[in-house]
Structure 1
Amino acid sequence: MSPSRRLSLALAWLGLLLVAGWWVGQHLQVSGDLRKFMPAARTPAQKLLIDELGEGPGSRLLLLALSGDAPDTLAGQSTALAEALAGDAHFTLVANGAAAGGEAMLEAIPARLRPYRYLLSPTLDTHAFDAAWLADQLDARLQDLGSPAAALIEPLLPADPTLEVLTLAEAWQPENAPRQLHGVWFDRAGNQALLAVQTTAAGFDPGGQQAAVEVIERAFAQVLGDSPAQLTMTGPGAFSVEVGGRTQREASFIGSLDGLVFALLLLIAYRSWKAPLLGALPLASGGLAGLGAVALGFDGVHGITIAFGFTLIGVAQDYPIHLISHQRPGLSPWDNARALWPTLGTGVVATCIAYLTFLVSGVEGLKQLAVFTIAGLGVAALATRFLLPGLIDTAENGGKAFDAATSPAMAWLWARFSRWPRLGVVAGLLLAVASAAVTGFAPGSFWQNDLSRLTPVPAHLLALDGELRGELGAPDVRYLVVLQTDDAEAALQASERLLPVLQRLRADGRVQGFDLASRYLPSAATQRARQTRLPDAASLRATLEEALADSPFRSDVFEPFLADVATARQAPPLTATDLAGTPLAARVDGLLLRGDHHATALVALSGLDDPAAVARAIEPYGAQLLDLKQASESLVAEYRVRLLWALALAALLLLATVWIALRDSRRVLRVLAPMALTTLLMLAVLRGLGIELNLFHLVALILAAGLGLDYGLFFDHAGDDRDSQLRALHAIVVCSLATLLVFALLATSSIPVLQAIGSTVAMGVAFNFVLALLIVRQTAVDGPPAPSSRDLARSRL
């Protein structure tokens, strides 16, 4: 192809990529909902796990600690920060211990709901609404007006002479309230001002959590002034933001470094600046194709899908390397691509079969990953086959075509490798048996089901989170009491029946505190029962006149009180829907999960001392103690079993694919043996080092197996022709070095997920390369002698 036609093809290809990139940018919606990477719940406990992780009271709670200055300064900063956050739409609750009295309750109960205070308050459960009780209340108010609290009491008195608002305030206060210092919450040592903030965004919304954290940081910067005080945030949302930022920084650094070194490697390998550019085009095409496929097939693609997808389709960088390394004088790039296509296509199809298992995983995120990877690899391979040959200049180095078969370095390497003993059948079987024995009999658990062991959150932050939860009496993040019913009313009634049991457990020291929705919103049955205890308008007026007989208060002052009671007596019971837009909604919605045909009441526990005793005590009331850790482990275990069965089916399909391509049982076994032995060796090394395997190791094993299959196929493709062997060696050395580089860098990451994949795949690359040489290579027929070390010193790769 002439230079002008090559330039035209390159420009057209780049133009197509730009158009595809624009289309993807217009249609791709990136999602942050981590539940897309959770398996489908199969049990009630697992479903509650998913709901609780996203919407429960613990998942949306951020704990803030201000430290590093004098207590009075910290208290002022706490107050200013709480005021700055209170009106922000990113938060449904901001608490620091201040304004815990009537003003706060008036804000919690807007004017339209204020008459309901007599239905929400437990007062009428123990007191009769008669003249004697009202007289006692009015006498108490008279004394209150002569106290320092007069400024607070006087505005409430006409509508609320019994101070039901303050009764509710006391009932709704945290049961284990932190220490108060200078009017706000502090830790017991008095060194940290504490705040509890509940976000509007769900726990599974990293974007929303990120926005909330940024609002808090900006507000703190404004109240900080010249103070040396510091802000510390803990909680699921804060941790996800911290880990997400660290992951992005590390991925960016590793990606940039890998790109630079990969370009340098290709420049050295092919002695041409065009090679890195040519190698990037199929990979870019595959990446855009993957993004386009998930944009068409799903409502939104998760950010994790994009990150992992580009990692997995990184194997596509091998395709142009094979094409360029196998190019030889006298052979057009089109004929070269045509000759390589059966081998390259077999590897691509086999790799895609492995990722097909993700489509039956039951996890939407993995389905997206499968579509992304299969589309990306397929398009990258097709681009290498049908477009890239048109861009290859066979004589760009002063008219001399590049030929890896003439490289002294390759000849020297092949001569050394040829001296290695072959791995025979017996030796291979012994190696397989030994690896299997190490894998099977290594001490410790084989699988890692504990998701907390994978957390990249620093240990000191986890410890601080535990300390702050203890100080604030925040709910336990592992255990929940669950009541499952048909509707919200039944759930509230069930939690009311459970209340005496919970109070007894608290008195016995089994729990330090608890919180449940019926504490803020009684059931409709309870509200109706309290309505029956409210006197009618005439009776209440007469009762009030009798109570005022010896009081200095005038009866006409209490007309708002009479109106509120009359409204409460006739109003329909308050429901959770009626609380929308009020501070109460945040508390109730987190503890009362409502579906189309079911509802679940949650009881958040703090200071849980004896889970077994709590479980036994609540069981007769239809409640269960949900262990979120155990539920997550069962979810992971069930998903893993399903994935392993799918992988077993994929292995059979892969075997069939290779058989169809090679049509020779000995060649099939020779090509597959390095991949199979590498998998066993990797498992043996991991288990021998005491590493418990997780789902990310499985992904890494699949990726490493695909690489091993490619190495075996191309060594087999070379046959016994020495020049073909050298070209195949050149391609595989460059491919393996490039792959080893990126995954070795990932292995140095502080993120456990990246570390697990990086170290496993890097190990697999080394094993696959060595075993392919020991098993697949054939003895060369004829060929010149290996170069001397002097010749080698004068050569380049």
Structure 2
Amino acid sequence: MKKPILSLRVAAFSWLFLVVTLSVLAFRQGPVFDSSIMNLLPTSTQQPLVQNATDKMAARFSKRLIVLMSGDDEAAVRQGIRSLANTLSSMPDVAEITWKVENSELSRFRQELFPYRFAVLDASQKELLQADAFTQIKDNAIARLFSPLPSGENNIIADPFGLFNSLALNRSNNLKLQVSDSLLKATRTIQPTYMLMMTLAGDAFSPALQRRLLGTLESEQKRLAPSGIHLTMSGMILHAAAGAKQASREISTIGLGSLLGIIAIMLWVFRQFKPLLLMLFPVAIGCVTAAAVTQLIFGKIHLITFAFGAGLVGVSIDYALHFLCERRNTKASTILPKILPGLLLGLFSSVLAYAAQAFAPFPGLQQMATFSVIGLIASWLTVVLCLPLLTRNDVLQPLPMAVTLDKLRRRFPRIEKNPALISGLLIALVLSVITLLDSQHQNPDDIRLLQTSPPALIEQEKSVQKALGVSSSAQFLLITAPTLEQCLQTEEHLSSQLDNLKASGLLGHYQALSKELPSLTRQTENIHAVQQLYQTQLAAFFNTLKLADSQRIDAISSFEQESARFLTPALWKQLHSSASGQDFIVQSQGPAATVIRFSGTFKPEVKQRLINLADSFSGAESGSEADVYYVDQVENISTLLGHYRSQVMNWVLIAYLGVLLVLLLRYKQQVWRIVLPPLLASIFTLAILMHFEQGINLFHLMALILVLGIGLDMGIFLSETHDAAHTWLAVSLSTLTSLLAFGLLALSKTPVLHHFGTTVLIGLTCVWLLAPMMRKQNSGDVQI
């Protein structure tokens, strides 16, 4: 007797030493987490430039926070915006703040761009030049000179037609703002409203940054409220903070409630703390080992993998509960030989289901499969190697709850020789299949269905967008070409088509680098057009103003000197005024890439026209070296979720066909008693979800794997112990603890957690009800 115990002890300590070693190797520099959902895409299908552009736009949006300050007393609002700006500018969490336009900035803009006034033109002046409306340009210039309204600095010699003044006055700005005594004032609000925009110095998802910055803004709002001033804000940090607050609230309510429920049930059944600790021990070892091995193999762990790994609790807890319940009726020396076949089959069925995902061409699924398989095996080994040692001195003590629960099970109707039950299940099955087949029109993978922000925050976001006359968009055009010059030329060709869509009211505002930095080809055209303007209208202009010929000659000389100046990308990047436009450059060379950003949402027909427009500029057929891609970030993520959903469904089906074949070898004609409950429960669950939810998405299917795993374990353990009462107690406890741990998530307001929890709640309830119906009729059973 001592020798087997000694051998088991050596094996147990060796196993725990391996776990500690793996953990130290993996986490010696701390775990590395990844949160970019786009990194889950198959490497072979990712466009690096599309990924770079998406990341750049996401980073730009996530670090920006817009604050609008409104009130009836304009003087108080102006004082308030100054005070708020001073407070925020002193915070290390704020990298940059924009709230006013200094005269020095206007002077610097003029100083930087005035030398290129003939190459870089305002869009309205360019249209007139292209239409040969030279006389109109001259008349407009004369009218501005005699107008009592200010129109900027006028230099009759250097810029007689005011080309640069037009550029300065109509600087590209998609926000409905005006400069009022150097402050940025919204023009589309009833109350006087001023804007302040800041760029965060850190991550918007940082709890510490959220606490400091939003705490400061909340304090400022309370301070200003007595003056009738209120703040309206828009930015990713607000949504991140709301999500964190909601998660914290749910953890403290749903999470704490489920934990207390599990503790209460285990104490009620076992009347001791020790079984509770023994139940959690293998789960903890499994999760730690899985995280360590995943970190060593992949170099980092995706947060979705970590969240999905929580499903291990529901499956691996089965092994511990089966052991603990059996141990109350079996001696320590004989328990392993008795339950090992069932534990092995249970492990095999679950591992095969998870391992099948490793063959899918998705890095995310491969990582999840690795995490799950390693975690299950580690939990199983901990149960087999450690629990016998930790319970070797426990006395045999049958559980009264096993008898009570077994009496309830014996009252369940059995499917054999029960036409009414068979007919009922067949009708339910047919209706479920019809529901599933009739749901093809739904799009459950739309990422917008996973929106977690509260309605009040969404309304505040819309209020800011309405006040500024702009709305954010997840769509953009990506232009790639061997050089930045070719990207700009392609943008200019695209802009002519986009302007047509805009003029017809189909497209809202859009922003492009070529609006600020014309291609050298376009600059040459502009200079040539201005030369024609000078040749045809300069003399008439000076004659109308009765100016001397010498001044006209000076003007011609100034043009000839300055017309040789071109604003190259290298020169433009050095200008202070180029700071905002550099976000449009994804890559400057090798190859170069730029983006055209849109505002608002599109109708499906407009989206299709943009896709067709992008396609017409791409490839050899267009005769251009440039390629244009229409990118919809929301659709990309939704498509990714759809691919995952299909892959998970396909590989789980393949895995369970393999499980069925293995179980068929052991249980022969009785295999249906094991497979049918989780299979029917899965179909019923999917049909119910399809009817009451907005379709079936990836997170429903991930939860369904948990349902299938626990359902198969239930059938295997019951078959191996010939429907023993303590086994029914074990699988019932496993079901109940999983319902408490995950089923209560159905109450969550976070869509992902709600979908996972709802699936577990419905699925495990169905499995628990169906499993007794498929067992053999015993003499003691009461047939209903």
Q: Are residue 226 (structure 1) and residue 223 (structure 2) matched? A: yes
How big is the shift at 1:712?
A: 0.8
1:327/1:336 contact within 8 Å kept = yes
Q: Is the 8 A contact 1:480 1:604 kept in 2?
A: yes
- What is the identity, as a one-letter code, of the residue corresponding to 1:422? R
Q: 1:665 to 1:581 in 2, by over 3 A?
A: farther
* Distance verdict in 2 for CA 1:223–1:17, change over 3 Å: same
AA in 2 matched with 1:741: L
Aligned to 1:574: 569
Number of aligned residues: 739
8 A contact 1:290–1:375 mirrored in 2: yes
Q: Which amino acid aligns with 1:759?
A: T
Q: Indicate if the aligned counterparts of 1:615 and 1:624 stay in contact, CA closer than 8 A.
A: no
Quote the offset at 1:759 in angstroms. Answer: 1.3
2:486 aligns with: 490
State the Cα distance separating 1:776 from its structure 2 match: 2.8
Q: Is the 8 A contact 1:319 1:381 kept in 2?
A: yes
* 2:385 matches 1:386: yes
1:746 maps to which residue? 745
Match of 1:462 in 2: 458
Contact in 2 for aligned 1:283/1:314 (Cα 8 Å): no
**Matches for 1:281-430 after TM superposition, within 5 Å:** 281-328=281-328, 331-332=331-332, 335-395=334-394, 400-404=395-399, 407=400, 409-424=401-416, 427-428=421-422
1:702 aligns with 2:705: yes
Structure 1 residues 700 and 105 mapped into 2: Cα distance closer, same or farther (>3 Å)? Answer: farther
Question: Following TM superposition, by how much is the alpha carbon of 1:373 offset from its aligned partner in structure 2, in angstroms?
Answer: 1.7
Partner Cα separation in structure 2 for residue 768 and residue 276 of structure 1 = 24
Give yes or no for the alignment of 1:280 onto 2:277: no
How far did residue 431 of structure 1 move?
1.8
Match of 2:620 in 1: none
Q: Which residue, out of 430, 434, 439, partners 2:428?
A: 434
Please report the TM-score for the alignment, with normalisation by the length of structure 2: 0.78
Work out the CA distance in 2 between the residues paired with 1:777 and 1:68.
76
> Does the CA contact (< 8 Å) of 2:678 and 2:767 recur in 1?
yes
Secondary structure of the 1:509 match is coil
Once the two structures are overlaid, the 10-residue window that deviates more, 376-385 or 71-80, is 71-80
**What is the deviation of 1:599?**
2.9
Separation (CA, whole Å) in 2 of partners of 1:436 and 1:194: 62
Question: Residues 32 and 437 of structure 1: is their aligned pair in 2 closer, same or farther, counting only changes over 3 Å?
Answer: same
Amino acid at match of 1:65: L
Distance 1:280 1:78, change over 3 A: same
Mapping of residues 1-40 of structure 1, within 5 Å: 24=27, 26-37=29-40
Query: Against the structure 1 CA distance between its residues 501 and 419, is the aligned structure 2 distance closer, same or farther, given a 3 Å change threshold?
Result: closer
Partner of 1:771: 770
CA contact (8 A) 2:743 2:761 kept: yes
CA distance in 2 between partners of 1:420 and 1:369 (Å) = 37
For residues 439 and 233 of structure 1, the distance between their equivalents in structure 2, rounded to whole angstroms, comes to 47
Structure 1 Cα separation of the partners of residues 192 and 713 of structure 2 = 59
Give the 3 Å change call, closer, same or farther, for CA 572–684 of structure 1 in structure 2: closer
Contact 1:394–1:401 at 8 Å: present in 2 too?
no
User: Match of 2:246, SS?
Assistant: helix
What do residues 51-73 of structure 1 show as CA deviations (whole Å, max 9, x unaligned)?
44762676765443335674433
Offset of 1:392 from its aligned partner? Answer: 1.1
Matched, 1:602 2:596: yes
**Worse-superposed segment, 440-449 or 516-525:** 440-449
Task: Report the counterpart of residue 612 of structure 1 in structure 2.
Answer: 606
Q: 1:473 to 1:668 in 2, by over 3 A?
A: same
Q: Residue type of the partner of 2:104?
A: E
CA distance in 2, matches of 1:93, 1:14: 51
Give the corresponding residue for 1:693: 696
Please tell me the residue identity of whatever aligns with 1:757: F
Aligned residue for 1:227, secondary structure, equals helix
Shift of 1:262: 2.0
Instruction: Give the Å deviation of 1:275.
Output: 1.5
Counterpart residue identity of residue 640, structure 1: R
**What SS does structure 2 have at the residue aligned with 1:515?**
strand
Deviation at 1:519, TM superposition (A): 0.9
Q: Distance in 1 between matches of 2:51 and 2:89?
A: 29
For the structure 1 residues 438 and 593, does the alpha-carbon distance in structure 2 shift closer, same or farther, using more than 3 Å as the test? Answer: farther
- Structure 2 gaps of 5+ residues are 532-538, 618-627
1:645-794 maps to which residues of 2 (within 5 A)? 645-660=650-665, 663-689=666-692, 691-719=694-722, 725-776=724-775, 779=778
Deviations 1:592-624 (A, max 9, x none): 566844635324245867953992895796378
Distance 1:609 1:640, change over 3 A: closer
SS of residue paired to 1:226: helix
Work out the CA distance in 1 between the residues paired with 2:573 and 2:209: 23
Report the CA distance shift for 1:690/1:272 in structure 2 as closer, same or farther (over 3 A). Answer: closer
1:511 to 504, 507, 510: 507
Amino acid across the alignment from 2:431 = A
CA distance in 2, matches of 1:80, 1:239: 25
2:446 to 440, 447, 450: 450
Root mean square deviation of aligned Cα = 5.1
The letter for the 1-side match of 2:650 is W
Show CA shifts across 1:491-518 (max 9, x none). 2112212334434443443334222111
1:283 to partner: Cα distance: 1.3
Distance 1:232 1:8 in 2: 65
The CA deviation at 1:140 is 11
Does structure 1 residue 55 correspond to structure 2 residue 57?
yes
Residue 270 of structure 2 is matched in structure 1 by: 270
Q: Is the 8 A contact 2:473 2:601 kept in 1?
A: no
Deviation at 1:706, TM superposition (A): 0.6
Give, in whole Å, the separation in 1 of the partners of 2:597 and 2:430.
Answer: 47
Task: Give the Cα separation in 2 of the matches to 1:504 and 1:250.
Answer: 50
